[in-house]
Amino acid sequence: MSGLGKGITAASIGRLLVDRGYRVVPIKIDPYINIDAGTMNPFQHGEVYVLKDGSEVDLDLGHYERFLDANLSGEHNITTGKIYRAVIEKERKGEYLGKTVQIIPHVTDEIKNWIRRVAQDNQADVCLVEVGGTVGDIESMPFLEAIRQMHIEEGPNLFLVHVTLVPIDKMGEQKTKPTQHSVKELRELGLQPNAIVGRCIKPLSRDVKEKISLFCDVPVEAVISAHDAPDIYEVPLMLENERFYDYIRESLNLEDRDPDNEWTEMVEKLKSLEDTVRVALVGKYTHVKDSYLSIREALKHGGIDAGVKVDILWVEAETLENNSDVLDELEFDGILVPGGFGERGTEGKITAIHYAREKDIPFLGICFGFQMAVVEFARNACDLKGAHSSEVAVTPYPVIDLLPEQRNIQQLGGTMRLGDHEVEVKEGTIAHMLYGKTRIVERHRHRYEVNPEYIDTLEENGLVFSGYIGKRMEILEIPDKRFFFATQFHPEFRSRPYRPSPPFVGFVRAMAGLEVSNGH
């Protein structure tokens, strides 16, 4: 079933290998026909994660980057759309020499070649491939067939892990029948798992492991309990306790190495946190928590650094439309306004930003939140009544707009600025204090910019643009506030649990009443 935890399981296996010094290169296979996740609705699919080259991908790639400390690109995400596009382009060029192009061998060969090419180009010791979807789905069949062929071609160099659900009935008994049927379905496709990871609420009992071993034809030590954990970062340690690494190492004939303790130390620090701060996250997809997955994780990373737990209070932006009284009834230590294109909820976000600025509550704005902070300041501090973004409204003061050179591109169907870009940071600013350097690299996913015609007016009234790319404004801050900071880029995409994003560190420290410090 979907949402079972394949991504976390795969990322955790990768972490066990990375801790031993192996170079792990992950690939996520998404069977949908979309070329990428860029056009997908957050309500259905969660957040769109952006990689360094600007590729828009499934949120599981974010888990891989955070768990493996990797910086991935679009080649690490395979979709049915990408595979079929590559096959059709080859057919149009005549590369198949007049043959009838078929699922087998042409599509399956394209899948296998893609996996091998990425592994070789990245000099992988281990290539970790997650096949999304569910066994039996028609859309994932070509991928499972490609894996079946690779199982024959690679022999003992391929290790197949099957993640299944082990539910508990009303009598409290763990039921193995779903696992048995899932493995049966897999074997009918020619695939026999080397190990079975049982997702369950409580640890798998020895009896249940033995039953799965017997009926699914795997050694009992290859039946791994992946029970619910207090935090996803504890899952690698759980798999370690299950001796999963040892089984994988012996099966793949890997060298035995002692693990690094960096991850364990980070988890121990996370578990030891006692004090809590609370952030009001004001967004338009708040009832789908995965829409803000990377922000949730970056807040957690900032909390680990600051020594506090971060609880999130989810506030639907539309409930704040011109009504800040809702915020007076809530208890929180800071306000965060994340990205989110479109008109819906915009005025609610502006209301939340005004509330934070007027009452000097720590504030962090990201992407669209950065733009709405400019709009709020223009309206209420610069007396530009009716100021707005031309993306969402007709306005006499388009403080957020397409730059002149973008307008022609837009007419030709140009898209967003995506991926890693180098940003220049002004010395002597909060941004410089947080980052500790004058040149940084951060990831972007946006189209509209601060209108250069209004920059002088905004700065004359107390807003400071402390980061920029040429005439594109990237960071804003108000120095005389406790913490009022916003970024046009998405710092959450480069945050790691042991190397947190500087804006999130500053924000969490401000909420905790600590000095906003430098060093990351």
Instruction: Report yes or no on 418 lying in a domain.
Output: yes
Q: How far is CA 344 from the centre of its chain?
A: 24
Q: Total domain count for the chain?
A: 2
Q: Is 145 a member of any domain? A: yes
193, 180 contact by CB (below 8 A)? no
- State the Cα–Cα distance between residues 369 and 341, nearest whole angstrom: 10
pTM over 0.85: yes
**Average pLDDT in the chain:** 93
DSSP at 496 = B
Looking at the structure, do residues 152 and 278 belong to the same domain, yes or no? Answer: no
Domain membership of residue 226 (yes or no) is no
Mean predicted confidence (pLDDT) in 337-363: 92
Q: Is residue 261 part of a domain?
A: no
* Confidence check: pLDDT of 233 > 80: yes
Q: Among 63, 367, 376, 432, which one carries the catalytic annotation?
A: 367
pLDDT at 36 over 90: no
**Structural domain span for residue 69:** 6-11+22-156
Domain-ending residue, one of 109, 126, 156: 156
Residue 412 scores a pLDDT above 50: no
Within a domain: 148: yes
Q: ∠ at Cα 272 (270, 274), nearest 5°?
A: 105
Query: Does one domain contain both 277 and 148?
Result: no
**Residue 21 has which token pair?**
């010094």
Q: What is the arithmetic mean of pLDDT over 168-189?
A: 94
**CATH at 459:** 3.40.50.880
pLDDT tens readout for residues 86-126: 999 999 999 999 999 999 999 999 999 999 999 999 999 99
Please report whether residue 215 resides in a domain: no
- Which residue out of 106, 432, 444, 490 is catalytically annotated? 490
**Tokens matching residue 387:** 């100021």
- Among 139, 156, 173, which residue terminates a domain? 156
Same domain, 296 and 444: yes
For residue 273, pLDDT over 60 is answered with: yes
pLDDT at 405 over 80: no
CA distances (Å), origin 44, targets 39, 137, 294, 317, 376: 11, 18, 17, 19, 31
Decide if 490 is catalytic. Answer: yes
pLDDT number for residue 97: 93
In a domain, 234, yes or no: no
Residue 411 lies in a domain: yes
- Of 110, 137, 156, the residue that ends a domain is 156
pLDDT in tens, 414-451: 567 899 999 999 999 999 999 999 999 999 998 899 99
Query: What is residue 342's predicted lDDT score, i.e. its pLDDT?
Result: 78
520 — pLDDT class (breaks 50, 70, 90):
very low
Q: Is 63 a catalytic residue?
A: no
CATH number at residue 64: 3.40.50.300
pLDDT score for 345: 83
Distance separating the N- and C-terminal Cα atoms of the chain? 39
Instruction: Say whether the peptide bond before residue 497 is cis (omega within 30 degrees of 0).
Output: no
| Catalytic hit among 47, 162, 492, 520 | 492
